[in-house]
Amino acid sequence: MTRFLCPFYRSNPILESFKGTLIIDESDFRFSDEKAEMVKILNNGNVRGFPVLRSDTNGKGEFNPHAYHVFGPKILATRGDFEDSALESRFLTEDMRSQRLRDDVPINLRADHKAEALTLRNKLLLFRFRNLRKPRSLAGFIDPAIEPRINQIFAPLLSIICDEKAREQLRDVARGCQREMIADRRGGCEAHVLEVIQELLALGTSLALKEITNRFSDLYADEYKWKVTPKWIGAVLRKKLRLKTERTRDGYMIASAERERLDQLFEKYGLVSVQANL
């Protein structure tokens, strides 16, 4: 599986010195969740102007902070997905396991491989020289129907393509990424909770945690290994969906001021908004 990150510890000085494209083969890290140091570096390297700070030692044994430049394109080859969803969303992923090897791709590298690679690198470098200082505006390439993270990846690519047919093909890829992202979310507990809330809104039922828990248990209890309780539902609402709850005489329920936030979440998780009052 090949991943392209557009705009480790020892990779920092390389990026600092050359500011080129970082290529990492066999990049299946032991830890790839949001707490892993490598993941934080790759996440930071997605945007210009966000260096990674490290403390370097000098000859006197003193520690001095240094801001390492980590921005730039990155190509990673992995066997599976990263645990951190934020890092995963920063990549354009090409799954090479589902494709048959093309007839024109040799099993072993030919003798002229180095010469071909040098020619390709020179062409890419010439492209950079020709386009480096050209003024570009991303405003015309932002799709409001696509999430900001996907627009952040695709808008710069669209801005350097002159062929309109190629642009439309790339837009199709962006829309496919949007659909995949929503489909992944729909399988999680947050989406299940939102579906229950949406159903209760349509029925005009109170959004008390007890009501949400009872309906959630009816629909999805068999999919979870633990007992679904109002406490667990409350944790999903507050910690994962960032919804505020308030205490009433009937128990805890979703705060009445969260209507707009709910509409945003329905859209984010691919659910049709319901026009009803909390």
Q: With a threshold of 0.75, does the pTM exceed it?
A: no
Report how far residue 95's alpha carbon sits from residue 176's, in angstroms, rounded to the nearest whole number.
14
Residue 1, token pair as written in the block: 């599986």
* CB atoms inside a 10 Å sphere around CB 130: 9
Q: How many residues does the chain have?
A: 278
Assign 245 to helix, strand or coil: strand
pLDDT value of position 8: 45
Distance (Å) of CA 181 to CA 89, 192, 269, 275: 8, 16, 9, 25
pLDDT value at residue 49? 83
Q: What is the mean pLDDT of each run of 10 residues along the chain (278 residues)?
A: 50 73 81 70 81 79 83 85 79 79 85 92 90 83 88 89 92 90 84 94 91 93 88 93 90 90 90 58
The helix-helix angle for 259-268 and 189-203 (nearest 10°) equals: 130
Strand 251-254 relative to strand 74-77: parallel, antiparallel, unpaired?
A: unpaired
Domains defined for the chain, CATH in brackets: 2-94 (no CATH), 131-185 (no CATH), 188-268 (1.10.10)
